[in-house]
Amino acid sequence: MAEKIQIIVPEAYPQMLNKSDAARAVLMLRAPETRAKAEAAARSYAAPMRAAILKYVSEMEQAGDDIAQIFAKVHEIRGFADTAGLFTTGRISKILCRYIDDMERIQRPMEPNLVMLHVAAIARAARAEEGDMATGEAVAAELAALVARRLEEAAGSR
C-alpha cells in the first residue's frame, strides 16, 4: 500500500533569521572587510592546496587507463584548482570532466588517447602554472575545441 505524500509549505519551516538579522548578515557578507579576510584565508591555504593537487595529479597519472580513477582524481582537481591559483589546471580539468560526463551520458566509448592528452596537459599545467599562462590557455582552448568536436561526432553517430 502506497503511503500518501505529505507536502510541507515553505512557510511552515521556522526561519533561521528574522528579516532584520538577515539584512545585517547580508551587509556583513558583502562588506569589503569580509572579502579581504576571505581572500587572505584562501591565500594562506594556497600552498597546501597546491601540494594536494599535485598529489592528485600524480595519482591520476598513475591510474593508467582506469577512467573511473582518472575521473575521481580530475574531479577533485577541478574542485580545488582555482582556489589554489591553478586556473589553467582547473580549466583543463573541467574540460576533461565534461568530456567523460557527456560520453557516459550519450553512452559512447571514450577515446583513451584524448583522455591521456588531457591528463598530460593537466599535469604540465599544474607543475608549471606560474611559468607560462599564455601557452596553458592556448592548450586549454584547443582541448575544449577538440572535445566539442568529438562530442558532436559521438552524438551524431549514435
Q: Which of 3-7, 78-82, 135-139 has the highest mean pLDDT?
A: 78-82
3 state SS of 113: helix
Question: Could you report the per-residue pLDDT of 31-62, keeping only the tens digit for each?
Answer: 999 999 988 988 888 889 999 999 999 999 99
Span 103-115, mean pLDDT?
A: 93
C-alpha 26/C-alpha 28 separation (Å) is 5
Which domain does 83 fall in, by range? 46-156
Return mean pLDDT, the chain.
88
Question: Could you report the per-residue pLDDT of 5-41, keeping only the tens digit for each?
Answer: 888 887 787 778 888 988 998 999 899 999 999 889 8
Looking at the structure, do residues 27 and 69 belong to the same domain, yes or no? no
CB 152 within 8 A of CB 102: no
Looking at the structure, do residues 133 and 151 belong to the same domain, yes or no? yes
DSSP tag of 106? T
What element of type H or E holds 13?
none
Does residue 1 register a pLDDT over 60? no
Burial class (CB in 10 A: 0-12, 13-18, 19+), 2: exposed
CB 101 within 8 A of CB 107: no
Alpha helices in the chain (DSSP H): 19-30, 32-44, 46-62, 67-80, 87-105, 112-127, 133-156
Give me the count of residues in the chain. Answer: 158
Does residue 149 register a pLDDT over 60? yes
Looking at the structure, do residues 57 and 127 belong to the same domain, yes or no? yes
Looking at the structure, do residues 113 and 152 belong to the same domain, yes or no? yes
> Does residue 151 belong to any structural domain of this protein?
yes
Looking at the structure, do residues 79 and 143 belong to the same domain, yes or no? yes
Q: What pLDDT was estimated at residue 132?
A: 66
